[in-house]
Structure 1
Amino acid sequence: MSTVGKPSDDPQNGLNHTDDVQEENEEVEDDGAPDSASDTKKKKKKKKPKKKKIEQTDPPRIPVSKFYPDGNYPEGEIQEYKNDNTWRTTSEEKRYDEKMAMEDPEVTYQSIRRGAEVHRLVRKHARKTIKPGMSLLEIAESIEEGTRALVEENGLEAGIGFPTGLNLNNCAAHYSPNAGDTTILQSGDVLKVDFGVHVKGRILDSAFTLIWEPTYENLLRAVKEATDAGIREAGIDVRLGDVGAAIQETMESYEVEVNGTTHRVKSIENLSGHTINLYQIHAGKSVLLVKNDDQTKMEEGEYFAIETFGSTGRGRVVESGECSHYAKIIDAPHVPLRLTSAKSLLKSINKNFGTLPFCRRYLDRVGETKYLLALNHLVAQGVVQDYPPLCDQRGAMTAQFEHTILLRPTVKEVVSRGNDY
């Protein structure tokens, strides 16, 4: 994400959904009355009308639940654990643990698989339709409209996991267009698309990079393979520093030639993958993208976002530009808010987003107006965290790929894997 689940473009796996209903025959019982032509009444066969196939629309707008009425969604790519953990695959004890986990409403593998199926469908359309000349606002709204429809957005029960990141060129993360943004995608741009889906607080986090000219193909290849290397290395009892080392070794084996100058691809040293908890996108553990001495171990049952960023620049990002991303802090202090508008805004944030990240466009959408002063007050009081864009030096190009993995008791599941990446 080795036994592989059905690819996401398989008709049985969500990209060409159908709901076939076999014809059944219904017999009419003999009432015992003699027939004028025979003492035995002939049994008649009546065909049930064939149920119409359900097919996904383009753009996708039919909820994925319509194609999986039993609530069982496609499993992601399965990878067996390495080294000292290979025994888990056949262990009866761990199989029992996994069965119990599947039945535990607090674990809810099916919730995150449902989010993954939404992500695959929305990104398939996005990868096909995003083109130079489109505005970033148009791209963001298309992705978000599809996500809301397919996951059947319903308050904190299901919806968007975090703001759609549309990060251009040297900007690596945390840029989402605010209302009025006039940025137009250009043919020479390197665009990172990072969006999430949540079902009952289980967040599916996955990202990819798009280019329209061949110059940075090796940059994308380096980052994609580094992500896959991190996923292969990840596992129960694996130390986070060792995952970072595998990512860096793969990433920095690549070079990119730009206008006759060769650049070694660098892992961005101060960005990282992370654990994901219920309604919490960054849950405490970080997977750095470079070799380090972190001895913290991955644990059974954890969800990780394995994301890697590569750069042709210095390989380090700083905060730069207008902020769009925010989130209420999980253990935010109870502090007196002197602004009435801040109290009102916090109430709206609690109702609509809880601790899920949001952006200014999402506040606009729920009817908030003239909220910047109140929002900044919540940030200053330590109730809300702001996440400004993170950028490498000007002139550098950055790329990103990301998957969510589940460390199940028996195997590792790359739940967001598709046939595209």
Structure 2
Amino acid sequence: MSDDEREEKELDLSSAEVVTKYKSAAEIVNKALQLVVAECKPKAKIVDLCEKGDSYIREQTANMYKNVKKKIERGVAFPTCISVNNTICHYSPLASDESVLEEGDILKIDMGCHIDGFIAIVAHTHVLQEGPITGRAADVIAAANTAAEVALRLVKPGKSNKDVTEAIQKVAAAYDCKIVEGVLSHQLKQFVIDGNKVILSVTNPDTRVDDAEFEENEVYAIDIVTSTGEGKPKLLDEKQTTIYKRAVDKNYHLKMKASRFIFSEINQKFPILPFTARALEEKRARLGLVECVNHDLLQPYPVLHEKPGDLVAHIKFTVLLMPNGSDRITSHPLQELQPTKPLEDPEIKAWLALGVKTKKKGGGKKKKGKKGEKADDSTEAEPMDATTNGAASQD
């Protein structure tokens, strides 16, 4: 075996150390999400909440692998975003932004953490209200969650990306909702947040991806966005875009001094994974980022919208395709949902009844976590009960 082959082998889930790094990143991002949800209250500033999520991830990851000889990169893998109501995704405003939350807002919270480039991502939908979620808000969240639960059961060796695309559209239709177009679920690899194996949310003539089968020891970020509207996202204001990723295969000699300064800072601090312009010097960033984007040195993550009045829900989770089944490592409990109609489609019920884990022989005990840590049982998923509201959650 060559050194390259050995290194490639060591960096997938066949290595216990790699699995540990994924799960450690997941534990941190799950707790960061919990912290942000708890702070989401009327009149809270969105930028403060986003910064709180990122700060928690930076602080927690800084305490890990401090005493190893080789320097291990760690920190935010995707900046915290809080997209409200008909805003679909990627809203992570600059420090000068004064936007606040209001009672009744539907919030999509999206964030990611990595340890040594092994990435755990999560997105969750939370409604700023007391008591059960009812009406169309319950429908759109139940659609996203049920689609996520179905995807969890279909992203496994032997199944293909097309199987998942077709299934999640059927689930959304059962709640009279749409899967939002253009959202991609990607394979994750070390320092790669958008791997080549992709699951398309909606098939249409404009968007095509290569057919792919899932394989053991792969990792995926499953990304589900549902809407009560048409599911056709629109870019309303380019100035709202604050999240970018270095396009590592592109080079260009920048003309403006501000652009060169910002690009040098990006290469130093954020050479591979997405970052927020909030982390850069704001005045120079405004000038310099435009030239960097115009010459394809940076890939922007635009803030996208549905029409005003449309409701949008977002659920994203990271799943490890382990030898003993699928291991969902990121999630957050949902509020109680009371959708307007029961889930009755027999095919969807059959998908939800599929197990996630392969039963272990001999009924072995669950592994205990590290000292002071709860054993992680979030992935021992039972077949989901679709007869309630189609929105069972995993703690």
Q: TM-score, normalised by structure 1?
A: 0.68
The partner residue of 2:300 within 377, 382, 386 is 386
Shift of 1:212: 2.8
The partner residue of 1:231 within 127, 133, 152 is 152
Whether 1:111 and 2:21 are equivalent positions in the alignment is yes
Query: What is the letter of the counterpart of residue 162 of structure 2?
Result: G
- Contact 2:125 2:315 (8 Å CA) reproduced: yes
Correspondence 1:306-385 to 2 at 5 A: 306-321=222-237, 322-332=240-250, 334-364=251-281, 369-385=283-299
Correspondence 1:1-400 to 2 at 5 A: 101-103=13-15, 108-152=18-62, 157-213=73-129, 214=133, 215=135, 216-254=137-175, 264-290=176-202, 295-321=211-237, 322-332=240-250, 334-364=251-281, 369-400=283-314
Distance 1:98 1:415, change over 3 A: farther
Find the counterpart in structure 2 of residue 402 from structure 1.
316
**Matches of 1:266 and 1:217 in 2, distance apart?**
14
- Contact 2:262 2:280 (8 Å CA) reproduced: no
Shift of 1:104: 7.0
Distance 1:303 1:387, change over 3 A: same
Distance 1:347 1:127, change over 3 A: same
Moved more, 339-348 or 267-276: 339-348
- Contact 1:98 1:409 (8 Å CA) reproduced: no
Secondary structure of the 2:279 match is helix
Secondary structure of the 1:207 match is strand
Query: What is the letter of the counterpart of residue 273 of structure 1?
Result: S
- Contact 2:73 2:116 (8 Å CA) reproduced: yes
**Matches of 2:47 and 2:13 in 1, distance apart?**
40
Shift of 1:172: 0.9
Distance 1:100 1:357, change over 3 A: closer
**Matches of 1:325 and 1:312 in 2, distance apart?**
26
Shift of 1:99: 12
**Matches of 2:236 and 2:22 in 1, distance apart?**
33
Query: What is the letter of the counterpart of residue 330 of structure 1?
Result: V
The superposition leaves residues 364-385 of structure 1 with CA deviations (integer Å, 9 ceiling, x where unpaired) of: 3xxx652322211111111111
**Matches of 1:359 and 1:121 in 2, distance apart?**
21
Shift of 1:230: 0.8
Aligned residues: 310
Q: Radius of gyration: which is bigger?
A: 1
- Contact 1:226 1:251 (8 Å CA) reproduced: yes
- Contact 1:172 1:391 (8 Å CA) reproduced: yes
- Contact 1:273 1:304 (8 Å CA) reproduced: yes
Secondary structure of the 2:196 match is coil
Secondary structure of the 2:280 match is helix
Shift of 1:126: 2.3
Shift of 1:102: 4.3
Shift of 1:176: 0.7
Identity %: 27
Shift of 1:410: 4.0
Query: What is the letter of the counterpart of residue 298 of structure 2?
Result: V
Shift of 1:205: 0.8
**Matches of 1:402 and 1:283 in 2, distance apart?**
16
Shift of 1:181: 0.9
Distance 1:225 1:277, change over 3 A: same
Distance 1:309 1:281, change over 3 A: same
Whether 1:411 and 2:325 are equivalent positions in the alignment is yes
- Contact 2:258 2:284 (8 Å CA) reproduced: no
Structure 2: stretches of 5+ with no match in the other structure: 1-8, 335-392
The superposition leaves residues 106-149 of structure 1 with CA deviations (integer Å, 9 ceiling, x where unpaired) of: xx111111111102222222222311221101211221222122
Query: What is the letter of the counterpart of residue 166 of structure 1?
Result: I
Shift of 1:231: 1.0
Query: What is the letter of the counterpart of residue 86 of structure 2?
Result: N
**Matches of 1:112 and 1:151 in 2, distance apart?**
12
Structure 1: stretches of 5+ with no match in the other structure: 1-96, 255-263
**Matches of 2:198 and 2:307 in 1, distance apart?**
24
- Contact 2:13 2:218 (8 Å CA) reproduced: no
The superposition leaves residues 243-294 of structure 1 with CA deviations (integer Å, 9 ceiling, x where unpaired) of: 011111112211xxxxxxxxx2111122221122222221233212236786
- Contact 1:320 1:388 (8 Å CA) reproduced: no
